[in-house]
Structure 1
Amino acid sequence: MRLALVASDGPRAQEARHALADAHDWVAPEEAEALVVLGGDGYMLHVLHGMLDNDRVIPAFGVNHGTVGFLMNKPRSSRHLIERIEKAKPISITPLKMTAVTNAGTEHSFHAINEVSLLRETRQTAKLEVRVNDKLRMPELSCDGVLVATPAGSTAYNLSAHGPILPLDSKLLALTPISPFRPRRWRGAILPEKSRVTFTVLQPDKRPVAAVADQKEVRDISEVRVAVAHDRKLTLLFDRASSLDERIFAEQFQV
């Protein structure tokens, strides 16, 4: 198997990269069949976004040398790395596509592996209209923000905002408000993954809103459209004893 090795700038990841330098006949990423990623979740997201941007997607086996490492495998002896990759369980994840239109009429499109978030830019509460599949579902949501999360991202920002954990194979999306003011008791919705969600910013001059697709931000937006990008599937490789679907399922029993 033609494998490439990439690492974040963190000292632990760089130390691991040096230790693995002679463990395999590494090739350049553009020639590889799979990618070994050393770092944390943030670096893995960076690498996956690079694949999406370059229209060349290959499986990625992450080794955690960051903090949480939810998208990564545990670091072990470098002698067994190739064997682990050969025996790894492939997990397919599908990102979201965000199309954001600014108040000036400029359109920006980005992909999100975890979630698309709308966030107020000032002390003023955001006011949003929410449509699902072109049908008006909420004429006015007053909040600090709102997000749409994939199953893979449901244990990240979505969970911190008290959104539901979605099993990886559920084919669902989480629509979760962030500190809702009106309607105060609305806790969000669970949507089929084929859903198209449109947010329209009410009073955009007085109450400016930013849209964020994972780490990519667009400010002063008037409208955001979110849908699953079925043509952009990604593949992560995991040790079979601790794959991503098992981790997401186990999160439901954490106290």
Structure 2
Amino acid sequence: MPNAQKIAFLASETDVARDALRALSTEYGNVDPIEADVIVALGGDGFMLQTLHGTQELPAPVYGMNCGTVGFLMNEYQEPGLRTRLAAAQEEIINPLHMKAIKENGEVHEALAINEVSLLRAGPQAARLKITVDGRERMEELVCDGALVSTPAGSTAYNYSAHGPILPIGSDVLALTAMSAFRPRRWRGALLPKSAHVRIDVLQSQKRPVMADADSRSAGSVVSVEITSATHVSHRILFDPGHGLEERLIREQFA
């Protein structure tokens, strides 16, 4: 990142992030994101996702500083030497998923997801799902609390909590993972190529309602969801040397 003269600071609503915003703006100045060479996001992983979605049309990369809890997508927070860190930062480029969800009333809900697209039961009964990949039915019936498709960048989040695999950042692979699968009881999910077109149909959708979610953008009462990689959208994320996504994903598997 050779040129970071103009910095735009964005902060979450927490007191810690707001204090950091005031301190860093005083030290380095603060420009509008449209004019910035780099955007610095102050908060946790949730705010980083929000920032990436909100600035995806802008050319400036995003550098996160952790003012939250986990901070998997963030760098360590330090006030001194920020311009030096930005100059040395390494860039990772990730593509989000595109979700097209059809609701019971015929309404179409579309959204992008940097981490994962998930389907979750929205009632007391387990969901019944049919899974089709590239036009071929792969699972006639999956009875579960839900299912998700995860990117490598999101594989340590909800996917990992549901016992899905951690994916190397450059693997061009997606994880299809079930949540609390009841039938088939021993199904542990699948690894799919990044180019895969995944369709999940909700069986008995009125009796067993399901909601769909793309990075907290939700649609209720869905009957089908199609998931593809949005390769035309690229998110540029900056990390301190030796602490990029590839290293973090490897390190997480030995924790």
Matches within 5 A, 1:51-62: 51-52=55-56, 55-62=57-64
1:16-56 Cα deviation digits (max 9, x unpaired):
1111123223311121121011111111111111124xx33
Alignment partner, residue 145 of structure 2: 144
C-alpha deviation, 1:244, in angstroms: 1.5
Alignment partner, residue 3 of structure 1: 7
* Structure 1 residues 161 and 57: CA distance shift in structure 2, 3 A: farther
- TM-score norm. by structure 1 comes to 0.96
C-alpha deviation, 1:185, in angstroms: 0.5
Alignment partner, residue 96 of structure 1: 97
Read off the aligned partner of 1:184 and give its amino acid letter. R
Q: Is the 8 A contact 1:35 1:58 kept in 2?
A: yes
For residues 138 and 57 of structure 1, what CA distance do their matches in structure 2 show? 41
Matches within 5 A, 1:188-199: 188-199=189-200
For residues 187 and 13 of structure 2, what CA distance do their matches in structure 1 show? 42
Residues matched between the structures, number: 251
Alignment partner, residue 67 of structure 1: 69
Read off the aligned partner of 1:27 and give its amino acid letter. V
Matched, 1:110 2:111: yes
Matches within 5 A, 1:212-227: 212-227=213-228
For residues 209 and 129 of structure 1, what CA distance do their matches in structure 2 show? 13
Matched, 1:49 2:50: no
* Structure 1 residues 65 and 217: CA distance shift in structure 2, 3 A: same
Greater mean alpha carbon deviation, residues 13-22 or residues 146-155 = 13-22
C-alpha deviation, 1:9, in angstroms: 1.3
Q: Is the 8 A contact 1:151 1:170 kept in 2?
A: yes
For residues 206 and 58 of structure 2, what CA distance do their matches in structure 1 show? 39
Matches within 5 A, 1:144-183: 144-183=145-184
Give identity over the alignment, percent.
48
Matches within 5 A, 1:12-31: 12-31=16-35
Alignment partner, residue 39 of structure 1: 43
C-alpha deviation, 1:14, in angstroms: 1.1
* Structure 1 residues 90 and 224: CA distance shift in structure 2, 3 A: same
What RMSD over aligned residues (CA atoms) do the two structures have, in Å?
A: 1.0
For residues 117 and 6 of structure 1, what CA distance do their matches in structure 2 show? 28
Indicate the SS of the match to 1:68: coil
Read off the aligned partner of 2:40 and give its amino acid letter. V
For residues 216 and 58 of structure 1, what CA distance do their matches in structure 2 show? 24
Indicate the SS of the match to 1:180: coil
Indicate the SS of the match to 1:20: helix
Alignment partner, residue 244 of structure 1: 245
Moved over 4 A (4+): none
1:69-101 Cα deviation digits (max 9, x unpaired):
00000012x230011011100011110000000
1:157-197 Cα deviation digits (max 9, x unpaired):
00000000000011100000000011001000001100010
Indicate the SS of the match to 2:63: strand
Q: Is the 8 A contact 1:116 1:226 kept in 2?
A: yes
Indicate the SS of the match to 1:100: strand
Read off the aligned partner of 1:19 and give its amino acid letter. A
Alignment partner, residue 80 of structure 2: 79
Unaligned runs of 5+ in 1: none
Read off the aligned partner of 2:194 and give its amino acid letter. E
* Structure 1 residues 107 and 26: CA distance shift in structure 2, 3 A: same
- TM-score norm. by structure 2 comes to 0.96
